Amino acid sequence: AQSVTQLDSHVSVSEGTPVLLRCNYSSSYSPSLFWYVQHPNKGLQLLLKYTSAATLVKGINGFEAEFKKSETSFHLTKPSAHMSDAAEYFCVVTAGAGNNRKLIWGLGTSLAVNP
Amino acid sequence: DAGVIQSPRHEVTEMGQEVTLRCKPISGHDYLFWYRQTMMRGLELLIYFNNNVPIDDSGMPEDRFSAKMPNASFSTLKIQPSEPRDSAVYFCASSSGLAGYIDEQFFGPGTRLTVL
């Protein structure tokens, strides 16, 4: 069975400090993994994706994530938070094929950035 | 391309009425997704289609909800009869894919539904 766990529902950081949003997955198949961002009262936008190429993936706005198969993790990081990073972040896994193909969303992590 | 188009953007209706939400995906995309978002339940995947065929409808809450995709450029999500607890923002998204792989999803602006 496939599942996604975002380990923190809320994360608060100070502007200029590093960001770490944690995501663990479970999959019987080789997964594809995504991070999406949703700013307040806005739609969702892709931050980055892993699709079995390089394990360190760079996305937009300075975010990156590393796929660690041994740890079944795909944590999202950014070296220095900006006020505009305050948003909801979702980790997503797709896995399987044919009738077993599943798309699983995490419950989201709300990131607050303090001045 | 204009992106994913949803209509209406806002809908206010009374309990018991039928509601139809519409979505036009990005041309050439093979996948179409319907989501619901509320403060209480967060973002929920309701159903998704591949080449106009429903693949996973396990997220559809109950029989009052139905979704169709009669062709590659149009999909509807219908609620009949509507209830106040259906009030939410409903997002439609589309994606391309090869051999069953789902790529980046592009989201529409959403329809904010209020059921009084």
Closest Cα partner for B45 from A22, A94, A42, A9? Answer: A94
Do strands B5-7 and B19-24 pair parallel, antiparallel, or not at all (unpaired)?
antiparallel
For residues A90 and A36, the answer to whether their CB atoms sit within 8 Å is yes
Q: Which residue is listed with tokens 């706005």?
A: A61
From the list B93, B100, B107, the residue facing A97 with the nearest CB is B100
Residues contacting residue A76 through CB under 8 Å, at least 6 positions apart: A19, A20, A21, A22, A23, A35, A47, A48, A63, A64, A65, A89, A91
* Token couple for B84: 């106040």
Q: Give the residue numbers in B contacting A (CB under 8 Å), as ranges.
A: 33, 42-45, 48, 55-56, 91, 93, 99-105, 107-110
Interval A69-93: pLDDT, tens: 999 999 999 999 999 999 999 999 9
pLDDT score at A1: 72
Q: Give the residue on A whose Cα is nearest the Cα of B53.
A: A99
Structure tokens at B19: 């509601």
Give the model's pLDDT for residue A62: 96
At residue B42, does pLDDT exceed 70?
yes
Both structure tokens of B4: 């994913």
Cross-chain CB nearest to A103 (options B42, B48, B107): B48
Give the Cα separation of A94 and A31 in Å (integer): 6
Give the number of other CB atoms < 10 A from CB of residue B56: 17
Residue numbers in A near B103 (CB within 8 A) = 49
Positions in chain A whose pLDDT score sits under 50: none
User: In 3D, which of A25, A82, A35 has the Cα closest to residue A58?
Assistant: A35
